[in-house]
Structure 1
Amino acid sequence: MLSRTFLCVAVASACAPVFADTVWLKNGDRLTGTITVYDGGKLMLTTDYGGSIPIDMKKVKTLQSDRELLVKQGNDRKEENTVSRSIQPAEEGKVVIADGGAPETVDLASIQQIMKPRPLVQDFTWKGSADAALDFKRAQNDTDDYNLAFKTSARHGLWRHTADGEYNREKENGLTTTDNWSAEYALDRFLTDKWFWQTRFNYKHDNVEDLSRQRQIGTGPGYQFWDDELGAFSLGTLINNNRYQYSDGSSDTFYSASLKWDYNRYLIGKTFELFSTGELGKPLSGAADYSLDAEVGLRYKVTEWASLNVKYEKDLISGTKDNNDLSSSRYTAGFGVTW
């Protein structure tokens, strides 16, 4: 009998969900899974039976989680961030937050965000995206457009590695009108939880334009405004050594100062992602008046890993050799994966 009792306990423990979160709805339904984020009125619950499910918080009666979560509350007077050890169910429209002190009952309506807390020093995190846009048109003018892009970032402790690249090619009636690629690598060393020092290498190759090669090596301080489950935003100021090489064999070498930004923000329970990256540069002497390389876009997550995206890209170099302004704009829509 004793052996049977231990066996039953072991089986029951193995079958019981580990750290499962529970959401009770006002219509009487109960959902279990893992609460990943709450923002913009949408609570994202990841399940093994239906993937990620967005839930309207107005339909939630109460909820429960025994995992550590960052809960942001706000009203007209103040905002308060609490790292809860657990969130326990309460009467309709309320939850009990336990943070190590006395448990506090709060209104669900007062909660603005719920997310997993992200400490400064982490063993290893890796995230990224890869996008592809293809456009083929067969009419009076035949056109073939290709755009491939990737970006990935890995963090280990106080070090962060970022790499990205892009390839563009356009043909019209068999004639190549655009053919270029670019690659960049950056290494960041965090000095505090916000400040970091960046060293970066960037290279661009163009087979069509007069400015055929661009090489840039830069270093300088940066500031991470935030980096959490809902996105990230950082600014960096760099002093760069640049080399421009032209199709006729001539070249320019000069120093420049630049401001670089990297922004992304998840909206409506991580269903949409707004993102923008770019750099505004000013030569310290000669070569050009200024340069701008920027993109802004929107992703819609079809599944946990697949997404649709639209992007606008702007590349501008003013006052180059012979006072020519090199400017290009590009709109793309395509399919991608994120991780």
Structure 2
Amino acid sequence: MSKPLTLLFTVVLTVLMINAVFGQKTDELYMMNGDRLTGEIKALEYGKLKYKTDHAGTIYVDWEDIVSLKSAHLFAITLSTGERWFGSIDSSLDTGYVIIAMPLASQKINLNNIVLIDPIKKTFWSRIDGNIEFGGSYTKASDVLQLNGSFNAEYKGRNFLTGYRSSTIVTTQPGKDDNRKYDVSVYGVRMYSGNWFAQVNVNGESNSELGLDWRVLSGGAGGHDFIRTVYSRFSGSIGLYYNGEKGGDSSKVTSSIEPAFSLSYKVIKYDVPKIDIYTAFNVFPSFTETDRVRMQYDLQTKFEIISDLYFSLSFYYTFDNKPRTAGAAKEDYGIIGSIGYKF
């Protein structure tokens, strides 16, 4: 064999050996039926442990079927009480328990109390999760074309997360003005023990159906998870916001102070197909404008097509009893279908 070929063969073999050594999956999963699975713990969320194996690929294991697990990697472990622990996971002599190993101490925890396991990722980009969606429809009889899209990204730290959300809906019909609905939000959330959290956010909005040229809402809120189980999450919050907005038929910018009352619920069903359901309800009664009330309701259901690819069906309802533009509608609602991808 010539020297160049020998060198090439040596380099390829070395790379493969390094990849085999460092790419080995060494986490261990102990099942109720006595099986032991070697792989890599990816996450626990809504009752399913995402687990990557060499032979079967990525699988989802019912949390209630697991009696113990073990990993030398670092994780953020959230309990149903809101407590958060950071460390590696070791098996326990007591069935149904694990040991969270931390630098200066260790803690034995009942598996039934764990609702969330997130790997602590080392790089900035690996800590970002999100999704992108696109959809559209066309009705020939009325010649109505509707296009919609959204983009969401979230960065997770140990006790906080920050994110960006945006969505667009454009409806066109010959002979009529386009209807446009834009929403964008930048937010930060700090988690505390006892299932409490605090958040700050800045929201931008435009809605031609409601005669709203633009709105900027900024402020903060405090909230609590009333229900936090391995299968679902039900939360509520109360906040205070500054609202600056402009109607479509005026150059006047109006300012107001608004409290905010919010409820949200999320659950994932791991049937075939996997279904992700999220709903939220927000009310904004104005402090500074007499009898003005705004409301927003959202319902989204995602049906998994294949891993990370899904079909989304959403319903939204927006209400403003005193729209900024005279003669504008007081409510706007719609059903949106789209194809989405999680990253």
Instruction: Report the number of matched residues.
Output: 310
- 2:164/2:185 contact within 8 Å kept: yes
Compute the RMSD of aligned alpha carbons: 4.6
Q: Within 5 A, what are the aligned runs for 1:309-328? A: 309-320=312-323, 326-328=330-332
Corresponding position of 2:4: none
TM-score normalized with structure 2 length: 0.68
Corresponding position of 1:185: 186
The superposition leaves residues 135-156 of structure 1 with CA deviations (integer Å, 9 ceiling, x where unpaired) of 1233x33331111122222244
Secondary structure at 2:209 match in 1: coil
- 1:253/1:287 contact within 8 Å kept: no
Corresponding position of 1:213: 213
Corresponding position of 1:129: 131
- 2:166/2:185 contact within 8 Å kept: yes
Corresponding position of 2:24: 17
TM-score normalized with structure 1 length: 0.69
Corresponding position of 2:10: none
Matched letter for residue 206 of structure 2: H
Q: Offset at 1:32? A: 3.4
Structure 2 residue runs without a partner (length 5+): 1-16
- 1:117/1:228 contact within 8 Å kept: no
Secondary structure at 2:288 match in 1: coil
Corresponding position of 1:6: none
Corresponding position of 1:66: 71
The superposition leaves residues 71-99 of structure 1 with CA deviations (integer Å, 9 ceiling, x where unpaired) of 979xxxxxx99998323799xxx667456
Q: Offset at 1:43? A: 4.8
- 1:96/1:103 contact within 8 Å kept: no
Q: Offset at 1:203? A: 2.2
Matched letter for residue 65 of structure 1: K
Query: In 2 relative to 1, CA 145–264 (structure 1 residues): closer, same or farther, beyond 3 Å?
Result: same
Structure 1 residue runs without a partner (length 5+): 1-9, 74-79
Does residue 171 (structure 1) correspond to residue 172 (structure 2)? The answer is: yes
Corresponding position of 1:85: 89
Does residue 258 (structure 1) correspond to residue 260 (structure 2)? The answer is: yes
Query: In 2 relative to 1, CA 18–53 (structure 1 residues): closer, same or farther, beyond 3 Å?
Result: closer
- 2:215/2:246 contact within 8 Å kept: yes
Corresponding position of 2:39: 33
Q: Distance in 2 between matches of 1:195 and 1:53?
A: 32
What is the percent sequence identity of the aligned residues? 10
Secondary structure at 1:66 match in 2: strand
Q: Offset at 1:263? A: 4.8
Corresponding position of 1:7: none
Matched letter for residue 331 of structure 1: I
Does residue 150 (structure 1) correspond to residue 161 (structure 2)? The answer is: no
Q: Offset at 1:313? A: 0.6
Does residue 46 (structure 1) correspond to residue 46 (structure 2)? The answer is: no
Q: Distance in 2 between matches of 1:38 and 1:157?
A: 16
Matched letter for residue 151 of structure 1: N
Corresponding position of 1:273: 276
Match of 1:282 among 282, 285, 297: 285
Matched letter for residue 291 of structure 1: R
